[in-house]
Chain A
Amino acid sequence: MSKYTTIVGLEVHVQLATQSKLFCRCSTQFGAAPNTQTCPVCIGLPGSLPVMNREALRLSLRTALAIGCEIPPLTKWDRKQYYYPDLPKGYQISQFDMPMSEHGYLEISDAKDRFETKRIRILRAHLEEDAGKSSHDESAARGDSLIDLNRTGTPLLEIVSEPDMRGALEARAYLDELKLLLTYLGVSDCNMQEGSLRVDANVNLHLDESGERIATPIVEIKNMNSFRAVERAIDYEAIRQYTLWQESRQKIGDVPKQTRGWDDAAGMTRGQRSKEESSDYRYFPDPDLAPVRFSSEEIEKSRNGLGELPAALRARLQSEFGLSLYDAGVLVNQGRELVDYFFAAVGQGAPAKAVCNWVSQEVLRVLKERELGIDAFPISAGQLVDFIAKLESGQLPSSRSREVFDAMHSKNQSADQAMQKLGIEEVDDSALENLCRELLEANPQVVADVQGGKQQAVGALIGQAKKKNPNADPGRVRGICLELIGRGL
Chain B
Amino acid sequence: MSAGEQLLSIRNLVVRYQAGRRHAGAPPAVAGVSFDVGAGELVGLVGESGSGKSSIAGAILGLAPVGSGEVRLLGQRLGGRSGAAVRRLRRPAQLVMQDPFDSLNPHMTVTALVEEPMIVHGLERGRERRAARALELLDAVGLRPAHDFAARRPHELSGGQRQRVSIAAALAAEPALLIADEPVSMLDVSVRAGILHLLDAMCRERRMGILMITHDLPTAMAFCDRLLVMRHGHVVASGTPGEIRDQTLDAYTRELINAASPGLGVAPQET
User: Is B a genuine binding partner of A?
Assistant: no
A: residues with CB less than 8 A from B are: none
